[in-house]
Amino acid sequence: MPITPDRLSLRRRTVLASGTVGAAGAAAVSTTDAEAAPARPGHRRFRHGVASGDPLPRAVLIWTRVTPTPASTPGSGKGPRVKVTWEVATDRRFRHVVRRGTFATGPSRDHTVKVDVTGLDPATWYHYRFHLAGQTSRVGRTRTAPAPEATPRHLRFGVVSCANLQAGWFSAYRGLADRDDLHAVIHLGDYLYEYGPGQYGYGSDDRDIRSHVPAHEMVSLPDYRQRHAQYKQDPDLQDLHAKYPWIITWDDHEVANDQWKDGAENHNPDLGEGDYHRRRARAHRAYDEWMPVRLDGTARLGDGDRLFRRFRFGTLAELSMLDLRSYRDGQLEVPGPEVDAADRTITGRQQMDWLKAGLKRTGAQWKIVGNPVMIAPVEFGSVPHDLIDPVNDVTGLLPRDGVAYNLDQWDGYTHDRREVFEHIRDHQVTDALFITGDIHSGWACELPYDAASYPVGDTAGVEFVCSSVTSSNLKDITGTPPRTTSVVVEQAIKANNRHVKYLDFDSHGFSVLDITATRAQMDWYVIGDRADRRTPIIWSTSYATKTGTGRIEQVTTPL
């Protein structure tokens, strides 16, 4: 892809965003930097909270955004360059500061601050805060990962995806922020949505509980910056960011619906939306500025920025976070044998090789894959694999894994899925666990090598899918009462896909994943009315997989 002005600015920005700072170090600061003007009465410099992310054994990112002057609003391009001081301590009162420094920020990076704090101790809770011109941010709490050789007794993560601000209040984030037993939060994509007011509703769900800012679909760089800022002002989201480090990947709505490497369903140049690659570069730039992630600008692959990365949690688990949008081929419109084509990819070659290398690595027991879209086969009319070739010699019409109902997920890229599953089988990988978002519903699935022959035969592992924070599910779209129409659909899917052990098309909420040496368990929690900010949150169900089995069983009590 040719180098465009957007991509040149993206490279300059990445250098600013990812500098590592040690005990007495600081980001480079020009002597011409302006100090923030004295605060006007009521002017708050820290309006968008604090956040941390990408925990390593001896490093973690910390983030904030400052508003040095009233005119320095997100996306405005206005305001001075300023020097923001940061501190990291082992106690909330900051009597024992272990790292501190300053970071220069300004309109070129939308006044965001992102520091890679190094030299920390493994498996340790820290507190952090920021200062600018006499004002101090709220205090955030974060935690480093265990040392590679450590043997944690357990790991516990909040798991979320698909948070559409227009669709309701982020009560799922409130539920996780109220807990004190997590080590980190894993967000599996669709952290925010690109649509303007009234543009996302389906069927009876054509309403906005809260309206997006700006009041149109985000396309320009200021648009993406303003939308990120709006989400970061949600109080429940702010509380959860301040409570735990996050490990995040993107799906499609961070740019545009159903995006792929060269376009998106919701991108139309004829409607004035311009070149898709320029739009995506703007979206990725704003994402890098506003999110506590290490977006590796030096490992550029094709026409995307590298977000796939890996986290080690001692000898207990390793988490590989995938990017299944930047390198994929375009989605098929109708099911057919084309889904099996060897030249169609959802991962891209380099990410596939990276994933396979991680799956067969020794040293960590559980191989957890942060998976933005479902990998479990969900289809109708599948035929056992040993009969596919003879039938296709006659008809040439049957997809190898049956007729899929959603070609946007791995079902539309079955050659890649088989490559992953066969790699797991050929290298005798055990305890492979895929955790997934995207589909606005809760699932617990086994991953058979041949779904048509299931339960005969082995599995490649299991998959747990979290429901959406707010984004519309089946009952919202049909306008039917909970547990009515959806139950019929769920039963039909499970009857045709016996490896699907749990399916809930009606609930919004969050999940909690707990990992020990003997099992991995996912608990699903659901919220009530997403239009009610104080809606109750209840435990729904739990499923677990015992080590070495690749099978799922229901659990009667939550963690």
Record the pTM.
0.91
What CA–CA distance (Å, rounded) separates 8 from 407? 34
DSSP 338: G
What CA–CA distance (Å, rounded) separates 396 from 153? 52
pLDDT of residue 38: 64
Do the Cβ atoms of 308 and 283 come closer than 8 Å?
no
| Tokens at 224, concatenated | 């993406």
For residues 235-250, b (16+ Cβ closer than 10 Å) or e, as one string?
Answer: ebbbbbbbbbbbbbbb
pLDDT of residue 400: 58
pLDDT of residue 296: 72
How buried is residue 396: exposed, middle or buried, by Cβ count under 10 Å (0-12/13-18/19+)? exposed
Cα distance between the two ends of the chain: 48
pLDDT of residue 203: 52
pLDDT of residue 225: 98
Do the Cβ atoms of 510 and 159 come closer than 8 Å?
yes
Do the Cβ atoms of 83 and 29 come closer than 8 Å?
yes
DSSP 410: G
User: Where exactly are the structural domains of the chain?
Assistant: 5-555
**What DSSP letter does each residue of 117-128 carry, written as one string?**
E-SPPTT-EEEE
- Sheet of 442-448: strand order equals 309-313, 317-321, 366-371, 432-436, 459-465, 442-448, 500-504
Task: Return averaged pLDDT per consecutive 10 residues of the chain, 559 residues in all.
Answer: 34 35 37 56 92 98 98 98 98 98 98 98 98 97 98 98 97 98 98 93 69 97 98 98 98 98 96 96 96 70 72 98 98 91 97 97 96 94 47 39 83 97 98 98 97 94 98 90 91 92 97 98 98 97 98 96
pLDDT of residue 36: 66
What CA–CA distance (Å, rounded) separates 312 from 438? 24
Strands (DSSP E) along 414-508, which ranges? 432-436, 442-448, 459-465, 500-504
Domain 5-555, second-level architecture: 4-Layer Sandwich (3.60)
